[in-house]
Chains A and B, each alone.
Chain A
Amino acid sequence: MHPIDWLIVVVYITWIVWDGLRRTKASTEIEGYFLANRSLPWWAVGLSVMATQLSAITLVGTAGQGYADGLRFVQFYYGLPLAMIILSVTLVPFFHRARVFTAYEYLERRFDVRVRSLTSFLFLASRSMSLGVVISAPSVILSIILGWPLWGTVAAIGGPTLLYTMFGGVQAVTWADVKQMVLIVFSVVAVVIALLLGLPADVSVQEALHLAGSTGRLDAVDFSFSFTETYTFWSGLIGGLFLMLGYFGCDQSQVQRHLTARSIDEARSSLMMSAYWKIPLQALILLTGILVFVFYVFNEPPILFNRVHDERVRSSPRAGEYLGIEATFRGNFEARRQSAHGVAEAHRTGEPAVIEEAEARFRDAQATLKGTRDRAARLVMDVTGDARYTDVNYVFPTFITTVLPVGLTGLMIAAIFAAVMSSVSSELNSLSTATIIDFYRRHVRTEATGAHYLAMSKLVTGLWGLFACYIATQAVNLGALIEVVNRVGSFFYGSLLGVFVLAVGTRAGANGALAGLVTGMITVALVGFTTNVAYLWQNVIGTLAVVIVGLAAGRKF
């Protein structure tokens, strides 16, 4: 990267940390440290909610999805607006009136301390491990793209984030999220403009969209109904609704965002921001990936986007075979480029038959090129022994660092840092809140001064941060363990939502809630391990299992 790009990244990180540390004085009690004394405006909370959800792997991975698969992934979010409305009417007023610090604190008032402790423990276990992944995934990508050691990228991401989160508390987290969200949107829009300006002189924006559309990349709505297909309109609308209800309504990392709002109305307005903007934002990020695809139709892409794997195959005994595939790939690329120009020309004629023929030729060329790339990928799998090799997540970072002009590269790398830091800071803050409020203050030191709890909160934030960074550096070795923990975490969302449904919508008792929670998680685990039911539907199954068992058990106990 050019020194100017590095300067942009360093200035961004310094600014965020300096501004976060400036807010240290604003937090003298845990109410200020964890909830900003419930004083934040709706728009800041709303941007924080969005920034927390948009992690670096979401940003980079979504752009990669756009490149490889098009708009299809946007269907994942179709249930979100409805979820935000339901939460605004139901859980948000309950939480705010109860004046709780954590969502699980409310469950003790409604049920008993066992339900609170179990749900909070499950949150801590799953969130702390997934936080390791949230840091490790972009760290691995950036370490390969930038040529740094893994610990270097983990430290560059984790160090500054830990500093401002630990000392500045939720005030620092939220105001950093605001800046980070603005930076991310601004950078993505700038990249889209650069991509549109970078189209060949003889290809218009419309023709570029026709090219992408001819490969199915602009299909954003699939009305087919299937329990095994991951992204369809119905799985997004119904399964996504349950997932978003669980995430925004029962996961402390999100609940804590809207608990910092000045009033119930401002908390509701903050959720409405996501309801309005999440789908358009995701569509924009996917569109960026689609335009990167169009860019690489006219400009030769590397055969593999993961440089490390590319180098490993080149230095392996099968290098000759790889060079042969690469030569074929170049020929395939040239043929696809010619056929793409053919599509643009055909659209200028306006003749449907000519257009159809040109698009069919382009699709064939694309399929041939993809086949060659798949051969290279299989070679990587053979050489590295990594049977799940995919380089989708490397497409966007490779494009950023090798194609974008000086300045824009730095801005977009800063945006990737912003995306990961905004998620990590909120999650660290919520892990510390659940530890202190649901365990330390509830079970260990029930009576102490505000200064003591504040000091402990900062210490615990620091410890969780160090733990997450450690997990991130060990993620490659702990892969299977992390996957298991994350899998258990995914069993937990729908079931946790079921417990909250029991809490606010029924007269079920504590025993019913506990029996429901355990049964729900086991049911989802069974469904997850023994069937092909797509995971969005598993949230629906988990919630229903908890509610049915909770109500049935309520009659018995």
Chain B
Amino acid sequence: MNSTELGPAARRTYLFVLLCEVVVVTLLWLVGRIYG
């Protein structure tokens, strides 16, 4: 997909990236809650 338009695969990738960030930040927050 060589254009600025977003295909479904690209949308899925970007959503997955955001989901991963939410998971990682949540895990970091949980580490602070559990051990802090």
- A residues near B (Cβ < 8 Å) are 71, 74, 78, 81-82, 84-85, 88-90, 93-94, 96, 206, 209-210, 212-214, 216, 218-221, 263-265, 268, 272, 275-276, 279-280, 283
Contact = CB atoms under 8 A, between A and B. Distances in A.
A71 B32 contact: yes
A279 B31 contact: no
Contacts of B34: 213
Nearest to B1: A265
Contacts of B14: 85, 88-89
Contacts of A219: 32, 36
User: What are the 8 tightest A-B residue pairs by CB atom distance, in nearest-first order?
Assistant: A213-B35, A220-B28, A213-B36, A221-B29, A209-B35, A219-B32, A81-B21, A264-B2
Contacts of B1: 264-265
Contacts of B6: 89
Contacts of B31: 71, 209, 213, 218, 220
A214 B24 contact: no
Contact of A283 (B4, B10, B13, B28): B28
Nearest to B35: A213
B17 A213 contact: no
Given A89-B4, A265-B1, A210 B18 contact: no
6 contacts: A78-B25, A81-B20, A84-B17, A206-B35, A214-B36, A218-B32
A contacts with B: majority SS: helix
A72 B36 CA distance: 13
Contacts of A88: 10, 14
Contacts of A90: 4
A528 B21 CA distance: 30
A74 B28 contact: yes
Interface residues of B, number: 21
A263 B28 contact: no
A221 B1 CA distance: 36
A84 B13 CA distance: 12
A235 to B, nearest CB: 14
Contacts of A279: 21, 24-25
A242 B13 CA distance: 22
A73 to B, nearest CB: 12
A210 B35 CA distance: 5
Nearest to A97: B2
A218 B32 CA distance: 5
B28 A221 contact: yes
Contacts of B17: 81, 84-85, 272, 275-276
Nearest to A70: B32
B8 to A, nearest CB: 14
> Chain A CB within 10 Å — which of B3, B10, B18, B31 has the most?
B31
Nearest to B13: A272
A350 to B, nearest CB: 14
Contacts of A213: 31-32, 34-36
Nearest to A215: B36
B31 to A, nearest CB: 5
Given A209-B35, A283-B28, A93 B20 contact: no
B2 A85 contact: no
A220 B32 contact: yes
Contacts of A93: 2-4
A79 B10 CA distance: 19
Given A218-B35, A221-B25, 16 more contacts: A81-B17, A81-B18, A81-B20, A85-B18, A210-B35, A213-B31, A213-B36, A214-B36, A218-B31, A219-B36, A220-B25, A221-B29, A264-B3, A275-B21, A279-B21, A280-B24
A132 to B, nearest CB: 34
A264 B10 CA distance: 12
A207 B18 CA distance: 32
A78 B21 CA distance: 8
Contacts of B25: 78, 220-221, 279
Given A89-B4, A265-B2, A218 B24 contact: no
A85 B13 CA distance: 9
A109 B36 CA distance: 54
Contact of B35 (A212, A263, A272, A275): A212
A82 B25 CA distance: 13
A71 to B, nearest CB: 7
A263 B29 CA distance: 37
Nearest to A233: B25
Contacts of A216: 36
B28 to A, nearest CB: 4
A117 B35 CA distance: 53
Nearest to B3: A93
A269 B28 CA distance: 25
Contacts of B21: 78, 81-82, 275, 279
A276 B20 contact: yes
Nearest to B31: A218
B30 to A, nearest CB: 9
Contacts of B36: 213-214, 216, 218-219
